[in-house]
Chains A and B, each alone.
Chain A
Amino acid sequence: MISSIFSQLFQTLLIVVLAPLLLGWVNQCRAWLQNKRGAGVLQPYRVLHKLFHKDAVLADNASSLFRTAPYIQFACMVLVASIVPMVATDLPFAAAADVIALVGLFALARLFAALAAMDIGTAFGSMGARREMLVASLAEPALLMILFTPALIAHSTSLTTIVEALAHREFVLYPSLAFAAVAFAMVALAENARIPVDNPATHLELTMIHEAMILEYSARHLALIEWASAIKLSNYSAIGIALFLPWGIASAGDWNAVPLALAVLFVKLLLGGAGLALLETLSAKLRIFRAPEFLGTAFLLAVLGMLMLEL
């Protein structure tokens, strides 16, 4: 029991603390791919440090919703982090929430982000919020469909059970998982406001989706949102790895396997981050009304994967 709680705390903290590092690595790779020197992998930590030490500026007409939304978003992402198995499948919290609750947590965070964006009544806030909802309304069903494929294989909607089942069975090729994996990558790009759906590096306010929603935030509020975004990226990476590349993860109670599992995870994230940067460098941003086609394709792939499982 004690070891389970320790495992739980360790994994949650790992994601929360190291999430900015993954973001820094992706940004560093992007800089390298553009022949730039880059700001270093620690830059997101410096940004967070800077933001936490600034005085917050709030719009005069901001309600308490605007002030509390960053905390809710951050809490949601930490909760997700505590139910996704990264290093070991020994997660007591995970029993409290299955993959459907997981999608719900993401949705809750987004709901508050959109409400807060509209709260102060600027044109950009509501513009970003409605675009975010457009993307979300298509990404969420696709994400559910994707998660159902491994859930059907493992006969459970609990993430730890799914991972346990996928990682420790005889080697079987599941074409449906390949479909689900491609669909998951597409949804993950959209959900994390990455190119080709959104551009995290843009300064053009009229093209923004996620950034437009948070334009009015400053200091600790902005820091929490940025940190939550970084954790979200790590969460998505963790879910992707757990579902589609689970090999090397430590089983419950197997403490000897943890160092190897950590090293394997590190390598997977390193490669995943570099792959994301490569993809972003090679792609242009989609015209916003192409995003439904993009996410529609993801949904189609996810459904195909599930159908194939039944054949």
Chain B
Amino acid sequence: MRIEDFDLALSPLPGAAPVWHGDVDAAAWRQVCQQVHDKGGRLVALWGSDRRELRRGFVVHAALVIRSGLVWLTLSADHEAYPGIDDIFPVASRMQRALGDLLGIYPHNPQDARPWLRHSAWPADQYPLRKDFDGSTVHPATAQDYPFVTVEGDGVHEIAVGPVHAGTIEPGHFRFSVIGEKILRLEPRLGYTHKGVEKLFEAMTLESGARLAGRISGDSTVAYAWAYAMAAESAVDRTPPERALWLRALLLERERLANHLGDLGALGNDAGLAFGLAQFSCLKEDLLRSNAALFGHRYLMDSIVPGGVISDLDESGGARLMAELDVLDQAVSRLHNIYDDHAGLQDRFIGAGRVAPELAVGLGLCGLAGRASAQAWDLRAQFPAVPYDRLDVQMATHRNGDVAARVTVRFDEVNEAIRLCRLILKGLPSGAIFTALPKAPDNAIGVGWVEGWRGEVFVALETGADNRIRRLHPHDPSWQNWPLIEHAVMGNIVPDFPLINKSFNLSYSGHDL
């Protein structure tokens, strides 16, 4: 479906991402969502903002993706309520629950009315994202009774795991209902890393917000920093120098490489093959050290700022990266053969945690995990911004949707990222790497939309007065994919859960905000 198909007043936003924005009424809100859903589109994000100071009350936003690009709808939530869309897009359910926790506006007929991000750090009648919320008050933590869905039956029992785990990993609680070793149902409880990121942005200017944006989810710092910068550039209608955009793509692909290499090693290790972890960790470490030497930070934090990038790459740096890519290319193809030929490893990977394409499309699986279940969405290939429009990105997809498919897609994307890095290094245009942005107009909006290694990172920005951020909503693809893990593990056995979970490797921090 294309943008012309809508009977709506939509205006295109300036900037690198193809985005149209429009205000809708309650009837059109649900109608457009239904239309998009029926034509194979997806819900990217659902969030809300407090516009009472503009005399507009509370509003709820939805970002939908169609063939032309992204449609951003805004609806006034009169009487602190709005028509929910979780019956159209099941993935909206948790976003609606989070919206209730943070802003106090609720859907008319929610399918699930439990809190989601609010544990007990603030009372149920206070809403952090309202402008009159006093963030300096510390509320005494109270015990919270969270009703998990229970499974009844002969021999069914529960295993509660986390939020503190035996390894040093992010916190999340997983409630398994099992019979023997077989998983009947998994219900995760997230929100343990809620840090009030969205509230923090409200005290920041467009410049100072860049550092926080790069810290929303550490493993995707480049993707978030770029999406943030893209949103800021869209709000002030400026394009950074071309060289800066090419360098950003180089950083993004290096972030993708680092994460895929780390995950491929960890997946081997979780199946008991420590050899894989050792080998891939070496490759990842070499990459990170080059990052530190050439761009000033191992994980490339704060390399991207609104207006450009902060560090340039000289001739010798480019030659060094090129030489390293050759070494990496060879090593990865050797390890790929070892993984493919290892009977024990393949026995663990194949068939584990399967998400069938029909389920994936119904629940809106996206990003890397989506591509492994035949959901062919990749912004770099479908909506290529500079420089991807010159690089002809080849999307990696698979139909099987099991752990093996997600491993294969990772290997394919590593190879593609190596190819892209080479093309970028060869085609890097000369010129400046930074252009100062003018002060943002009051009450402007902007969108950033970047294909990070995990999936599409989306940032929606509303500016206030004096170049300040009035509201910024960062959205991680983990929101879409967490519910799919519950389906992926059903019918699998308990000891396969860590492997399946790792094959998705979703963000807690980016989700809990």
Contact = CB atoms under 8 A, between A and B. Distances in A.
B167 A201 contact: no
Contact of A34 (B161, B166, B274, B344): B274
Interface in A284-299: 284-290
A306 interface: no
A8 B497 CA distance: 48
Contacts of A284: 268, 271-273, 342, 344-345, 347-348
Interface in B317-362: 342, 344-345, 347-348
B159 to A, nearest CB: 4
Contacts of B494: 127, 206
B181 A288 contact: yes
A283 to B, nearest CB: 5
B275 A33 contact: yes
A281 B166 contact: no
Interface string A44-66: 00000000000000000000000
Looking at B160, B344, B493, B497, which has the most chain A CB atoms within 10 Å of its CB?
B344
A195 interface: yes
A290 B347 contact: yes
Contact of A215 (B160, B166, B274, B496): B166
A123 B159 contact: yes
A56 B165 CA distance: 21
Interface string B481-503: 00000000000011111100000
Contact of B272 (A124, A206, A283): A283
A119 B301 CA distance: 48
A169 interface: no
Contact of A205 (B165, B268, B277): B165
Interface residues of B, number: 31
A204 B167 contact: yes
Q: Is the interface of B mostly helix, strand, loop or mixed?
A: helix
Interface in A106-158: 123-124, 127, 131
Interface residues of A, number: 30
B271 A127 contact: no
Interface in B458-513: 493-498
B313 interface: no
A215 B164 CA distance: 13
Contacts of B496: 287
B498 A199 contact: no
Contact of B344 (A33, A205, A283): A283
A124 B161 CA distance: 9
Contacts of A289: 181, 493
B270 interface: yes
Given A36-B278, A284-B344, A203 B166 contact: yes
A129 to B, nearest CB: 13
A30 interface: yes
A135 B345 CA distance: 21
B412 interface: no
Nearest to B165: A205
A289 B493 CA distance: 9
Interface in A262-289: 281-289
Interface in B341-398: 342, 344-345, 347-348
Interface in A182-217: 195-196, 199, 201-207, 215
A98 to B, nearest CB: 36
Query: Across chains A and B, which 3 residue pairs bring their CB atoms closest together, nearest first?
Result: A285-B272, A203-B167, A284-B344
Interface of B: 157-161, 165-167, 181, 268, 270-275, 277-279, 282, 342, 344-345, 347-348, 493-498
Given A34-B277, A202-B272, A284-B268, 18 more contacts: A33-B275, A36-B278, A123-B159, A123-B161, A127-B159, A205-B161, A205-B166, A206-B161, A206-B495, A206-B497, A206-B498, A283-B272, A283-B273, A284-B271, A284-B347, A285-B272, A287-B496, A288-B495
16 contacts: A34-B278, A36-B278, A123-B158, A196-B344, A202-B272, A204-B498, A205-B165, A206-B498, A283-B273, A284-B273, A284-B342, A285-B272, A285-B273, A287-B496, A288-B181, A289-B181
